[in-house]
């Protein structure tokens, strides 16, 4: 589902213009992003939470020349689904 | 940042009531969740994408009695940050 399709579906559901929805999503993204950068966990009711985790540095190997090199530590945003999403996916997995 | 604080901040930024924001977030969550359950990838411009990955089954050990047991395969939603978020976090990590 591309961004545009998401905007169209949300606009239809809420009776808004695509522009209003796009603006809302953009403000939401910017608030969540800046909170993540501040190392804050963001809770979205019924959906899940976003937080930043630090991945430790590690040694990797370049497969073409066999040389070892150090991958530096990095900060990555992680999404933890809420129970609603988790349960829906669990049901789906159980029926496969 | 709790759900309520997020709602308050979004409402202030957009000049909306908290109720309008809460309703929007709830519709957004429900659209994204149901798309995930349909195994669709959802792109949110400037923020990132959500998709469902299948985690393989694996064998684990109960540490209290040493018994091995099978953890069944499961579907988990995964968030991949967009370049904006990734770059912001990279800068932050580089300055630490």
Share above pLDDT 70 across residues of chain B, in percent, rounded to a whole number: 98
Nearest to A75 among B1, B13, B92 (CB): B92
Using the predicted structure, report yes or no on whether residue B95 has a pLDDT greater than 80.
Answer: no
**Alpha helix (H) ranges present in B1-96?**
3-14, 18-37, 83-94
pLDDT in tens, B67-84: 999 999 989 999 999 998
pLDDT digits (tens, 9 = 90+) for A41-84: 999 988 999 999 999 999 999 999 999 999 999 899 999 999 98
Q: Given pLDDT bands bounded at 50, 70 and 90, which one contains residue B56?
A: very high
By residue count, chain A amounts to 96
Using alpha carbons, list the distances in angstroms from residue A28 to A53, A87, B10, B11, B40: 21, 25, 7, 10, 21
Instruction: Tell me the chain A residues in contact with residue B28 when contact means C-beta distances shorter than 8 Å.
Output: 10, 25, 28, 47
> A47 to chain B: which residues are within 8 Å by CB?
25, 28-29, 32-33
* Maximal C-alpha separation, chain A: 58
Residue B86 class from Cβ within 10 Å (0-12 exposed, 13-18 middle, 19+ buried)? middle
For residue B91, is pLDDT > 90? Answer: no
Cβ-defined contact of B89 to A2 (cutoff 8 Å) = no
Q: What pLDDT does residue B94 have?
A: 77
Half-sphere exposure in the Cβ direction for A56 (13 Å, CA): 2
Q: In the predicted model, is pLDDT for residue A9 greater than 70?
A: yes
């Amino acid at each position: 589902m591309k961004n545009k399709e998401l905007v169209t579906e949300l606009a239809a559901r809420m009776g808004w213009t695509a522009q209003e929805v796009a603006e809302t999503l953009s403000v939401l993204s910017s608030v969540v992003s800046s909170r993540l950068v501040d190392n804050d966990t963001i809770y979205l009711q019924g959906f899940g939470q976003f937080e930043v985790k630090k991945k430790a540095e590690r040694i990797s190997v370049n497969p073409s020349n066999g040389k070892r090199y150090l991958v530096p530590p990095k900060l990555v945003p992680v999404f933890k689904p809420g129970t609603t999403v988790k349960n829906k996916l669990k049901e789906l997995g159980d029926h496969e």
